[in-house]
Amino acid sequence: MTRITSKVVLGASLLLSVLATTPAMAMEAPTINGSRALRGRVHLTFDDGPHPSRTPRLLDILKRHDVKATFFMCGNNARAHPRIVRRAYLEGHTIANHSETHTQLTRLGRAGIEREVMRAHEALTSALSGAYEPHHFRPPYGSHNRTVREVLGAHGYINVLWDTDSLDWQLRNRRRITEKVLREVGDGGIILLHDIHEESIMSVPAMIEGLRANGLELVPTIEALTDDSGAPAPRTLPEAEVIPVTAGSRGKVNASSLNIRSGPGVGNPPLGTPLPGGSQVEILIAQGDWLQVKTADGREGFVSARFIDVERVAEPVAAEPAPAAAAAEAPRAPADGAEDRVREANAASRE
């Protein structure tokens, strides 16, 4: 009996030792994928943007129909188009994180997941001048595991999925996209769309009208699916820094590609192949919404100013003032006895 008791005590001691040296389990982010709790409420969400031309047109549509949505934005796109991020925020939409490069996070280790989440977080926060930090995250492809949820939880994120997939990326037909959503959405539905596809944008007006005709309320936030939180209060942001455009400034193409044209305006023909995203140009003249530029391969033409991020020119470092000139050297005092010898010589000359 004594031997059994000894083994039990030894085993308990080993267990306590292991527990004492094991770090506490990381808190996982909560996951939301739609709620049926409140009848008649649905919410629109858009992934992968911002797109330089389609997201602004979508914002126009949502504003016209008085609808607020959540935009799950990729960090690299937000970094390229910060003005669109700002506009969406100021118009009352929720800005959310969709990773930096739309990588499937479950294929990465913890450090890679952390990098994808936080680089996008920094891009979105920077675009909003630090006035807002996102706290909703949607993993690319909806792919998540315990490690992903732990990283999200460590940074205070909510993991947001969906329960109504429009399959807009696959259908590419506005009528079929709209019909699928209206057929499948239910109370508390989170509707998944993408603001990078043309047909997705074009499906939104009929979708909004159909949802409302079916008695569904398009609530302004994900939280409003399950509580009575209303629309966000009016928002403001610090003024974005404007970098002056002068002859000799340099800029970078912030779109995936950009035509360089023979004159200002889309009616002018392109000159050769489009400039790829990230291309550097020298700005020659600013003409309203158009810039005359010179490309690295020597072409000169016009591009739309909104697709060029002007680079800040480093302020010249002021030269340090030269040290003050040394004061004129004071006359040296005569050596000992010199004054007496001078007086004696003068007296002798007068004699």
Do the domain assignments include residue 298?
Answer: yes
Residue 191 located in a structural domain: yes
Tokens describing residue 79? 């970094």
Regarding whether 257 and 219 lie in a shared domain, the answer is: no
66 contacts 217 by C-beta, under 8 angstroms: no
pLDDT above 70 covers a percentage of the chain that reads: 75
pLDDT in tens, 22-47: 345 679 999 998 766 567 899 999 99
Asked if residue 82 lies in contact with residue 52, where contact means CB atoms within 8 angstroms, the answer is no
- Looking at the structure, do residues 267 and 216 belong to the same domain, yes or no? no
Position 229 scores a pLDDT of 63
Specify the residue for token string 């596809």.
197
pLDDT of res. 188 = 87
Same domain for 194 and 266, yes or no, is: no
With a CB cutoff of 8 Å and minimum separation 6, the contacts of 222 are 32, 43, 45, 70, 94, 136, 160, 190
- Residue 75 in any domain: the answer is yes
**What's the pLDDT at 230?**
62
pLDDT mean over 253-274: 83
**134 and 276 assigned to the same domain:** no
Q: Kindly state the DSSP code that residue 270 receives in the 8-state scheme.
A: B
Q: Residue 132 domain-assigned?
A: yes
Same domain flag for 176 and 258: no
Which range marks the domain in which residue 281 is found?
250-310
Does residue 101 sit in the same domain as residue 140? yes
Cβ neighbors of 128 (< 8 A, separation 6 or more) are 85, 86, 89, 95, 237
pLDDT of residue 309: 79
Q: Is residue 17 part of a domain?
A: no
Q: Are residues 217 and 164 in the same domain?
A: yes
Residues 65 and 184 in one domain: yes
Q: Are residues 171 and 43 part of one domain?
A: yes
Tokens of 179: 């019909």
Same domain, 82 and 188: yes
Kindly state the average pLDDT of the residues 126-143: 94
- 167-209 per-position pLDDT tens digit: 999 999 999 999 999 999 988 899 999 999 999 999 999 999 9
Task: Tell me the average pLDDT of the chain.
Answer: 82
The pLDDT of 322-341, averaged and rounded, is 50
Cα separation, 240 vs 244, whole angstroms: 12
Choose between 238 and 290: higher pLDDT: 290
Spatial contact of 159 and 120, defined as CB atoms under 8 Å apart: no
User: Residue 148 sits in a domain of what CATH number?
Assistant: 3.20.20.370
Give percent of the chain with pLDDT exceeding 90: 55
Q: How far apart are CA 32 and CA 224, in angstroms?
A: 13
Write down the pTM of the prediction: 0.67
Residue 179, in any domain of the structure? yes
The answer as to whether 35 is a domain residue is: yes
CATH code of the domain covering residue 304: 2.30.30.40
Summarize pLDDT for 77-134 with one digit per residue, the tens: 999 899 999 999 999 999 999 999 999 999 999 999 999 999 999 999 999 988 999 9
Distances (CA, A) of 14 to 9, 10, 18, 83, 272: 9, 6, 6, 59, 74
Q: How far is CA 23 from CA 105, 112, 278, in A?
A: 24, 21, 44
Domain match, 184 and 299 both? no
Q: Measure Cα distances from 330 to 326, 327, 333, 342 in Å.
A: 11, 8, 9, 20
Number of structural domains (the chain) is: 2
Residue 344's pLDDT band, with cuts at 50, 70 and 90, is low
Residue 320 lies in a domain: no
Q: Which residues are catalytic?
A: 47, 194
Instruction: Specify the pLDDT at position 276.
Output: 85
Is the model more confident about 307 or about 7? 307
Calpha distance 127→113 (Å, rounded): 22
Residue 268: band (very low, low, confident or very high) from pLDDT cuts 50, 70, 90: confident
- Find the range with the poorest average confidence among 20-24, 336-340, 341-345: 20-24
Residues in Cβ contact with 25 at an 8 Å cutoff, skipping those fewer than 6 apart: none
Do 184 and 274 lie in one domain? The reply is no
- The CA-based diameter of the chain, rounded to the nearest angstrom, is 137
